[in-house]
Amino acid sequence: MRILIADDEVTSLRLLEKTLQHAGYEVTVVGNGREAANQLCCPDGPQLALLDWGMPELDGLGVCREVRRQPNQRYVYIVLLTARDSKLDIVEGLESGADDYMVKPFNLEELKARLRSGARILQLEDNLVEAREDMRFRATHDPLTSLLNRGAIMDLLGQELTRSSRESGCTVVMLGDLDNFKSVNDTHGHIVGDEVLQGVAHRLLTAMRSYDLVGRYGGEEFLIVLNNCGPAKASERAEQIRRVIAKSPLPTSHGKLPITMSLGVLASAEWGPLPAEEVLREVDTALYAAKAEGRNCCSLAVPGAARMHTSV
């Protein structure tokens, strides 16, 4: 584990550095408080710190306060080192943001034990953060494909439509449905069907820009939201996605299977402000039109006009 030692007394600094290196720590040493604060406030800075109370430019308490003011930063476990030993000094040190306090001269074995305690606390925090992120992912993603789930993609669609309307921009919404997917399940079984859904999800992600959104809307339907995509590009982008899905048979445990997708497409700028539910109704109607055209094609929803289709 990485640890920072900040002390303006060179002899003490070198002794601590060698002791902690022998104990297996990756040690960074600095001679003043300002340098210590800069190191500890970096996103990838050390998470353990030994700070001398009295240092030039910024004292140990000042370093503690600066570190604690940083938003959204991984926790830094700080031990203050000082010759001050009154209860008031200890209280002041801890209230400044220090986690522990050792009075000089101190026992090196005790110091190493306290650092091990700090490392355990940091590991516990990392475990909690990991568990929280795992819960957040499970709450917003489809367990089979790892795409956004229906609730998450619908929430984001609503936000994107609101943003586009406010900024007079355009969001392209697509609803894609795998053609004849029921026959895959009936012929090869649901395990192979799941493999197909996972393979399609992977291909969809390769066709997206980093800031586009794609989610599993339900069953074999996928909802795609393209940010800042003008009406002139809507059919072109839909056709690109259709080709990515159909480009080659998908490998499965029962061999390679040809898979195609039909897509309904809507460019929000052509419709004016609409709630997400109404946008979904229109794009779903366009999807049905694509199915009626023979599948493996795209149908563009245009207000008051015949739908436009592209296909192979």
The residues annotated as belonging to the active site are 220
For the chain, give the longest Cα–Cα distance. Answer: 86
33 near 65, Cβ under 8 Å? no
DSSP calls for 105-138: S--HHHHHHHHHHHHHHHHHHHHHHHHHHHHHHH
Angle between helices 60-69 and 33-40 (to 10 degrees): 20
299 near 264, Cβ under 8 Å? yes
**Amino acid at residue number 178:** L
DSSP-derived 3-state class of residue 100:
strand
Element (H, E) at 269: none
